[in-house]
Amino acid sequence: MPRNCRRTHAFTLIELLVVVAIIALLISILLPALSQAREQTRSVKCLANLRTLGQGVVTYAAEEKDTLPGPLHPAVYRNQGIKALTDHPHYPISIAQATAYQERYLTFKLRRSFSDSHEWENSVSDQVSTCPASAGQNPDSNFTSFWQKTNRQVYPTHYVINNVWPNGETAADVGSGAVGNVRATNPPCYFGLSPAPGSSAATYDRAARLYPPQKISRINRASEEWMIADAWHRARTQAGYPGLQQEGPYQVGWTGESLPNYAPHFSRRSYTFNSTNERNSESDQIRRSKKDGRTNTVFFDGHAESVRSKTFTANGFELLYGFPGTVNYNPAEMPPVGAWK
Protein backbone atom coordinates (compact mmCIF):
# COMPACT_ATOMS: atom_id res chain seq x y z
CA MET A 1 0.00 0.00 0.00
CA PRO A 2 1.42 3.43 -0.85
CA ARG A 3 2.63 5.46 2.11
CA ASN A 4 0.16 8.25 1.52
CA CYS A 5 -2.73 5.80 1.50
CA ARG A 6 -2.12 4.41 5.00
CA ARG A 7 -4.69 5.37 7.63
CA THR A 8 -3.54 6.15 11.18
CA HIS A 9 -5.52 4.47 13.94
CA ALA A 10 -6.89 6.70 16.75
CA PHE A 11 -8.95 5.99 19.85
CA THR A 12 -12.64 6.44 19.42
CA LEU A 13 -14.65 8.48 21.90
CA ILE A 14 -16.13 5.31 23.40
CA GLU A 15 -12.68 3.80 23.89
CA LEU A 16 -11.48 6.94 25.64
CA LEU A 17 -14.50 6.91 27.93
CA VAL A 18 -13.87 3.26 28.80
CA VAL A 19 -10.22 4.01 29.66
CA VAL A 20 -11.24 6.97 31.80
CA ALA A 21 -13.85 4.84 33.58
CA ILE A 22 -11.29 2.11 34.29
CA ILE A 23 -8.82 4.66 35.68
CA ALA A 24 -11.53 6.19 37.87
CA LEU A 25 -12.49 2.73 39.13
CA LEU A 26 -8.89 1.90 39.99
CA ILE A 27 -8.50 5.20 41.83
CA SER A 28 -11.68 4.58 43.82
CA ILE A 29 -10.32 1.16 44.81
CA LEU A 30 -6.83 2.36 45.66
CA LEU A 31 -7.65 5.55 47.57
CA PRO A 32 -9.23 3.83 50.62
CA ALA A 33 -6.32 1.40 50.74
CA LEU A 34 -3.82 4.26 50.56
CA SER A 35 -5.73 6.18 53.23
CA GLN A 36 -5.80 3.14 55.48
CA ALA A 37 -2.08 2.57 54.93
CA ARG A 38 -1.41 6.20 55.86
CA GLU A 39 -3.42 5.85 59.06
CA GLN A 40 -1.60 2.64 59.93
CA THR A 41 1.72 4.44 59.45
CA ARG A 42 0.57 7.20 61.78
CA SER A 43 -0.55 4.64 64.36
CA VAL A 44 2.81 2.87 64.17
CA LYS A 45 4.56 6.20 64.74
CA CYS A 46 2.24 6.90 67.68
CA LEU A 47 3.11 3.54 69.23
CA ALA A 48 6.82 4.24 68.75
CA ASN A 49 6.40 7.58 70.56
CA LEU A 50 4.70 5.86 73.48
CA ARG A 51 7.47 3.29 73.63
CA THR A 52 10.01 6.14 73.77
CA LEU A 53 8.11 7.83 76.59
CA GLY A 54 7.89 4.53 78.47
CA GLN A 55 11.62 3.92 78.09
CA GLY A 56 12.22 7.45 79.37
CA VAL A 57 10.20 6.68 82.50
CA VAL A 58 12.02 3.41 83.13
CA THR A 59 15.40 5.14 82.66
CA TYR A 60 14.37 7.96 84.99
CA ALA A 61 13.35 5.48 87.68
CA ALA A 62 16.65 3.62 87.34
CA GLU A 63 18.53 6.87 87.93
CA GLU A 64 16.30 7.98 90.83
CA LYS A 65 16.51 4.99 93.17
CA ASP A 66 13.57 3.16 91.58
CA THR A 67 11.22 6.15 91.96
CA LEU A 68 8.83 7.19 89.18
CA PRO A 69 8.92 10.81 87.96
CA GLY A 70 6.53 13.10 89.75
CA PRO A 71 4.42 14.45 91.19
CA LEU A 72 2.64 14.82 87.85
CA HIS A 73 -0.58 15.96 86.23
CA PRO A 74 -2.22 13.06 84.35
CA ALA A 75 -2.18 14.83 80.96
CA VAL A 76 0.91 14.66 78.77
CA TYR A 77 0.46 18.21 77.52
CA ARG A 78 2.37 19.36 74.46
CA ASN A 79 3.99 22.76 73.79
CA GLN A 80 4.99 23.27 77.42
CA GLY A 81 8.40 24.87 76.87
CA ILE A 82 9.06 28.14 78.72
CA LYS A 83 9.04 30.16 75.51
CA ALA A 84 5.98 28.32 74.22
CA LEU A 85 4.08 29.20 77.42
CA THR A 86 5.26 32.76 77.91
CA ASP A 87 4.93 33.60 74.19
CA HIS A 88 1.63 31.79 73.65
CA PRO A 89 -0.20 33.61 70.81
CA HIS A 90 -3.52 33.65 72.66
CA TYR A 91 -2.84 33.12 76.39
CA PRO A 92 0.74 34.06 77.40
CA ILE A 93 1.63 33.50 81.06
CA SER A 94 4.47 34.66 83.30
CA ILE A 95 7.79 32.84 83.67
CA ALA A 96 6.87 31.94 87.26
CA GLN A 97 3.57 30.40 86.14
CA ALA A 98 5.24 28.59 83.26
CA THR A 99 7.89 27.14 85.59
CA ALA A 100 5.18 25.89 87.97
CA TYR A 101 3.31 24.28 85.07
CA GLN A 102 6.40 22.56 83.69
CA GLU A 103 7.16 20.82 86.96
CA ARG A 104 3.83 18.99 86.72
CA TYR A 105 4.35 17.45 83.28
CA LEU A 106 5.98 14.21 82.25
CA THR A 107 7.93 15.49 79.26
CA PHE A 108 9.64 18.15 81.39
CA LYS A 109 10.75 15.48 83.87
CA LEU A 110 12.14 13.40 81.00
CA ARG A 111 13.75 16.27 79.08
CA ARG A 112 17.28 14.97 79.77
CA SER A 113 16.38 11.66 78.11
CA PHE A 114 15.49 13.58 74.95
CA SER A 115 18.43 16.03 75.15
CA ASP A 116 15.77 18.71 75.10
CA SER A 117 16.11 22.28 76.36
CA HIS A 118 12.31 22.40 76.56
CA GLU A 119 12.22 26.08 75.65
CA TRP A 120 10.20 26.35 72.47
CA GLU A 121 7.05 24.97 70.93
CA ASN A 122 7.52 21.80 68.85
CA SER A 123 10.57 20.74 70.82
CA VAL A 124 11.84 17.16 70.84
CA SER A 125 9.57 16.50 73.84
CA ASP A 126 6.59 17.82 71.91
CA GLN A 127 7.38 15.62 68.94
CA VAL A 128 7.64 12.52 71.13
CA SER A 129 4.34 13.33 72.84
CA THR A 130 2.49 13.91 69.55
CA CYS A 131 0.30 11.17 68.13
CA PRO A 132 0.16 11.76 64.35
CA ALA A 133 -3.23 10.07 64.13
CA SER A 134 -4.76 12.19 66.89
CA ALA A 135 -3.14 15.34 65.47
CA GLY A 136 -4.89 14.71 62.17
CA GLN A 137 -8.24 13.91 63.77
CA ASN A 138 -8.06 16.61 66.41
CA PRO A 139 -5.80 19.54 65.44
CA ASP A 140 -4.37 21.97 67.97
CA SER A 141 -6.84 24.60 66.76
CA ASN A 142 -9.64 22.61 68.41
CA PHE A 143 -8.06 23.12 71.83
CA THR A 144 -7.56 26.81 71.17
CA SER A 145 -11.17 27.12 70.06
CA PHE A 146 -12.39 25.34 73.20
CA TRP A 147 -10.26 27.66 75.35
CA GLN A 148 -11.65 30.75 73.62
CA LYS A 149 -15.26 29.59 73.95
CA THR A 150 -15.13 28.43 77.56
CA ASN A 151 -12.14 30.29 79.06
CA ARG A 152 -10.98 26.94 80.42
CA GLN A 153 -7.25 26.47 80.09
CA VAL A 154 -6.68 23.49 77.80
CA TYR A 155 -3.42 22.76 76.02
CA PRO A 156 -3.12 20.16 73.24
CA THR A 157 -2.73 16.65 74.60
CA HIS A 158 -2.63 13.26 72.89
CA TYR A 159 -1.50 11.02 75.75
CA VAL A 160 -2.32 10.52 79.42
CA ILE A 161 -0.48 8.81 82.28
CA ASN A 162 -1.94 6.38 84.79
CA ASN A 163 -2.17 8.63 87.84
CA VAL A 164 -5.50 8.17 89.59
CA TRP A 165 -6.44 9.23 93.11
CA PRO A 166 -9.02 7.63 95.47
CA ASN A 167 -12.60 8.84 95.53
CA GLY A 168 -12.30 9.78 99.21
CA GLU A 169 -10.07 12.76 98.43
CA THR A 170 -11.47 16.05 97.19
CA ALA A 171 -9.99 19.07 95.49
CA ALA A 172 -10.33 20.92 98.80
CA ASP A 173 -8.16 18.28 100.49
CA VAL A 174 -5.31 17.98 98.05
CA GLY A 175 -5.97 20.39 95.17
CA SER A 176 -6.78 19.52 91.59
CA GLY A 177 -4.37 17.72 89.31
CA ALA A 178 -5.22 14.02 89.51
CA VAL A 179 -8.23 12.04 88.46
CA GLY A 180 -10.54 10.80 91.24
CA ASN A 181 -12.58 7.83 90.06
CA VAL A 182 -13.55 4.23 90.74
CA ARG A 183 -10.49 3.29 88.73
CA ALA A 184 -8.20 4.34 91.58
CA THR A 185 -5.12 2.14 91.58
CA ASN A 186 -3.56 0.22 94.45
CA PRO A 187 -1.34 1.94 95.47
CA PRO A 188 -2.96 5.19 94.25
CA CYS A 189 -1.22 7.95 92.29
CA TYR A 190 1.65 6.03 90.75
CA PHE A 191 3.29 9.28 89.63
CA GLY A 192 2.42 11.26 92.75
CA LEU A 193 -0.32 13.80 93.29
CA SER A 194 0.46 17.26 91.98
CA PRO A 195 -1.73 20.00 93.49
CA ALA A 196 -2.69 22.88 91.23
CA PRO A 197 -0.21 25.78 91.15
CA GLY A 198 -1.11 28.30 93.82
CA SER A 199 -2.44 25.72 96.29
CA SER A 200 -1.71 26.25 99.98
CA ALA A 201 1.44 24.97 101.64
CA ALA A 202 -0.71 22.61 103.70
CA THR A 203 -2.15 21.14 100.49
CA TYR A 204 1.30 20.54 99.06
CA ASP A 205 2.47 18.94 102.32
CA ARG A 206 -0.55 16.64 102.48
CA ALA A 207 -0.16 15.56 98.85
CA ALA A 208 3.55 14.86 99.30
CA ARG A 209 2.94 12.88 102.49
CA LEU A 210 -0.02 10.80 101.32
CA TYR A 211 0.62 10.43 97.59
CA PRO A 212 4.31 10.66 96.66
CA PRO A 213 5.61 9.12 93.40
CA GLN A 214 5.76 5.35 93.82
CA LYS A 215 8.66 2.99 93.45
CA ILE A 216 8.37 1.34 90.05
CA SER A 217 9.06 -2.02 91.69
CA ARG A 218 5.81 -1.59 93.68
CA ILE A 219 3.70 -1.72 90.52
CA ASN A 220 2.11 -5.15 90.50
CA ARG A 221 1.63 -7.01 87.21
CA ALA A 222 3.85 -4.51 85.43
CA SER A 223 3.41 -6.19 82.04
CA GLU A 224 -0.38 -5.75 82.29
CA GLU A 225 -0.68 -2.38 84.03
CA TRP A 226 -0.85 0.57 81.65
CA MET A 227 1.59 3.44 82.12
CA ILE A 228 0.81 5.90 79.31
CA ALA A 229 -1.91 5.68 76.66
CA ASP A 230 -3.93 7.56 74.07
CA ALA A 231 -6.11 10.26 75.60
CA TRP A 232 -9.80 9.81 74.84
CA HIS A 233 -13.08 9.76 76.76
CA ARG A 234 -16.77 9.03 76.58
CA ALA A 235 -19.55 11.33 77.63
CA ARG A 236 -21.20 11.15 81.05
CA THR A 237 -24.17 8.84 81.39
CA GLN A 238 -25.34 8.33 84.97
CA ALA A 239 -24.04 10.60 87.72
CA GLY A 240 -25.03 8.02 90.36
CA TYR A 241 -22.56 5.48 88.98
CA PRO A 242 -19.09 7.00 88.52
CA GLY A 243 -17.88 4.04 86.52
CA LEU A 244 -20.46 4.82 83.87
CA GLN A 245 -19.30 8.40 83.40
CA GLN A 246 -15.88 8.92 81.90
CA GLU A 247 -14.82 5.92 79.89
CA GLY A 248 -11.33 6.47 78.63
CA PRO A 249 -8.01 6.69 80.42
CA TYR A 250 -8.48 10.45 80.68
CA GLN A 251 -11.51 10.71 82.95
CA VAL A 252 -12.43 14.37 83.02
CA GLY A 253 -15.30 16.21 81.39
CA TRP A 254 -13.85 19.62 80.62
CA THR A 255 -12.47 18.64 77.23
CA GLY A 256 -15.96 18.64 75.75
CA GLU A 257 -15.60 18.02 72.04
CA SER A 258 -11.81 18.17 72.15
CA LEU A 259 -10.91 14.49 72.28
CA PRO A 260 -12.05 11.50 70.21
CA ASN A 261 -15.03 9.81 71.79
CA TYR A 262 -13.59 6.35 71.20
CA ALA A 263 -10.29 4.54 70.72
CA PRO A 264 -8.44 6.43 67.98
CA HIS A 265 -6.62 3.66 66.11
CA PHE A 266 -7.83 1.15 63.51
CA SER A 267 -11.50 1.96 64.08
CA ARG A 268 -12.13 2.96 60.44
CA ARG A 269 -14.16 5.93 61.62
CA SER A 270 -14.06 9.35 60.03
CA TYR A 271 -13.75 11.38 63.25
CA THR A 272 -15.56 14.16 61.38
CA PHE A 273 -18.85 15.35 62.83
CA ASN A 274 -21.23 18.08 61.77
CA SER A 275 -22.82 18.33 65.20
CA THR A 276 -22.64 17.09 68.78
CA ASN A 277 -25.71 14.92 68.18
CA GLU A 278 -24.03 13.27 65.20
CA ARG A 279 -20.93 12.65 67.27
CA ASN A 280 -22.90 11.13 70.17
CA SER A 281 -24.92 8.97 67.78
CA GLU A 282 -21.73 7.60 66.24
CA SER A 283 -20.34 6.83 69.70
CA ASP A 284 -23.55 5.06 70.74
CA GLN A 285 -23.32 2.84 67.66
CA ILE A 286 -19.75 1.93 68.51
CA ARG A 287 -20.70 1.15 72.10
CA ARG A 288 -23.60 -1.10 71.12
CA SER A 289 -21.66 -2.96 68.44
CA LYS A 290 -18.49 -3.16 70.58
CA LYS A 291 -16.52 -2.58 67.37
CA ASP A 292 -14.25 0.02 68.86
CA GLY A 293 -10.76 0.83 67.66
CA ARG A 294 -7.62 0.16 69.64
CA THR A 295 -5.82 2.27 72.23
CA ASN A 296 -2.04 2.54 71.86
CA THR A 297 -0.50 1.86 75.26
CA VAL A 298 2.88 1.45 76.92
CA PHE A 299 3.01 -0.69 80.07
CA PHE A 300 5.17 -0.49 83.18
CA ASP A 301 7.50 -3.22 81.94
CA GLY A 302 8.30 -0.98 78.96
CA HIS A 303 6.53 -2.87 76.17
CA ALA A 304 3.97 -1.07 73.99
CA GLU A 305 1.01 -2.40 72.02
CA SER A 306 -2.41 -1.48 70.67
CA VAL A 307 -5.02 -2.87 73.07
CA ARG A 308 -8.63 -3.64 72.38
CA SER A 309 -11.51 -2.40 74.47
CA LYS A 310 -13.02 -4.51 77.23
CA THR A 311 -16.17 -4.53 79.31
CA PHE A 312 -16.30 -4.63 83.09
CA THR A 313 -19.62 -5.92 84.43
CA ALA A 314 -20.39 -5.42 88.12
CA ASN A 315 -23.64 -5.93 90.01
CA GLY A 316 -25.61 -6.05 86.80
CA PHE A 317 -24.12 -2.82 85.41
CA GLU A 318 -21.84 -2.64 82.42
CA LEU A 319 -18.96 -0.40 83.45
CA LEU A 320 -15.94 1.06 81.75
CA TYR A 321 -16.54 -0.13 78.23
CA GLY A 322 -13.59 1.38 76.43
CA PHE A 323 -10.03 1.43 77.66
CA PRO A 324 -9.29 -1.73 79.68
CA GLY A 325 -8.35 0.23 82.80
CA THR A 326 -6.13 -0.67 85.71
CA VAL A 327 -5.45 -4.28 86.69
CA ASN A 328 -4.41 -3.09 90.15
CA TYR A 329 -7.68 -1.51 91.17
CA ASN A 330 -8.34 -0.60 94.78
CA PRO A 331 -11.06 -2.95 96.10
CA ALA A 332 -12.43 -0.16 98.29
CA GLU A 333 -13.09 1.90 95.15
CA MET A 334 -14.74 -0.82 93.03
CA PRO A 335 -18.07 -2.66 93.22
CA PRO A 336 -17.76 -5.91 95.20
CA VAL A 337 -18.48 -8.29 92.31
CA GLY A 338 -17.24 -7.90 88.78
CA ALA A 339 -15.49 -9.44 85.82
CA TRP A 340 -13.60 -8.25 82.75
CA LYS A 341 -14.61 -9.54 79.32
pLDDT digits (tens, 9 = 90+) for 158-182: 898 988 776 655 545 554 444 445 5
| 3-state per-residue secondary structure call for the chain | CCHHHCCCCCCCHHHHHHHHHHHHHHHHHHHHHHHHHHHHHHHHHHHHHHHHHHHHHHHHHHHCCCECCCCECCEEECCCCHHHHHCCCCCCCCHHHHHHHHCCCHHHHCCCCCCCCCCCCCCHHHHHCCCHHHHHHCCHHHHHHHHHHHCCCCCCEEEEECCEECCCCCHHHHCCCCEECCCCECCCCCECECCCCCCCHHHHHHHHHHCCECEHHHCCCCCCCEEEEECCCCCCCCCCCHHHCCCCCCCCCCCCCCCCCCCCECCCCCCCCCCHHHHHHHHHHHHHHCCCCEEEEEECCCCEEEEECEEEEECCEEEEEECCCCCCECHHHCCCCCEEC
Least confident residue range of 105-114, 304-313, 320-329: 320-329
Residue 34 has pLDDT above 50, yes or no: yes
pLDDT for residue 281: 73
pLDDT for residue 323: 62
Task: Indicate whether this model's pTM tops 0.85.
Answer: no
pLDDT for residue 313: 60
pLDDT for residue 176: 47
Least confident residue range of 1-5, 239-243, 270-274, 312-316: 239-243
Residue 3 has pLDDT above 60, yes or no: no
The mean per-residue pLDDT over the stretch 90-110 comes to: 89
pLDDT band for position 245 (cuts 50, 70, 90) = very low
- Average model confidence (pLDDT) across the chain: 75
User: How large is the greatest C-alpha to C-alpha distance in the chain, in angstroms?
Assistant: 106
CA 163/CA 213 separation, integer angstroms:
10
Residue 239 has pLDDT above 70, yes or no: no
pLDDT for residue 273: 58
> Looking at the DSSP assignment, which residues form a beta bridge with residue 295?
307
pLDDT for residue 52: 95
- pLDDT tens digits, 36-83: 677 788 889 999 999 999 999 999 999 999 999 999 988 888 888 898
